[in-house]
Chain A
């Protein structure tokens, strides 16, 4: 099994049941092996999902959250619907926290699936990442070297707690938390946390980076999507080995430097540093 994660941020309101239907249709089309077993709008999920009556499940689409879950291969997805009246506008999101692939041959299907979702929902930003144990070890080593100050505990205690979490929840969930949880409107309005295995930059990023500049990214694959997004796949795969991780990191750094290092979050310049950021036009009708 290969643990992956997917995030789609859309400026559309997403509450119409048709949006849910399109999401389920795409999931069924590309991953019939990943049909959800449970659904609901709040946890614990008690409703059994039946593919032949998806409309029944969509009865709770659009309220606040819509959650789908299955085991073996694991799928845990949450659609979160942005409020149309909140003083703080944000993207609606489709997050597959855990999306297990059965084998490496499914990686190309994953990229097609994410590109189709980005196209369907005119994503401002979308990504898919392969969660690698080597990436987490790298992160923990850096965390250990970064000093903390009160009221935080010493870095060693934080790392110990995360190691306990890894033994309890698995490395994929912990890595997702430290690397991918930041992919939300408020953070993207400050800076881009990083590049991931697959990145889809929507029109606001095309305006920021320049479309031609995005297309010249030195990645394994760069493709323009019909709605104006650009899909950048950094490497053909990401093997969970030290060598696999290091070669991915080298490509990632090269691509970050090509795009614009001032667009990516960096701990060096301090809290008030002005990064290059896109302008999002939120609350668009679907």
Chain B
């Protein structure tokens, strides 16, 4: 998976499989060990429920213009 993080619109962690289903991201036992602590699982539910904010529209046109200019004259 080459476009993992942002491509899921900040929802990557929300899509994490439940504990016990390989949700440690391939980092070995340490992260899984953390997940086995019930109170940490409860804590995680708090931040995973935090709402992502939309970025502002301002600046978008400027970025695209800069990208076009760069592509034309690299």
Query: Do these two chains really belong together in a complex?
Result: no
User: Using a CB–CB distance below 8 Å, which chain B residues touch chain A?
Assistant: none
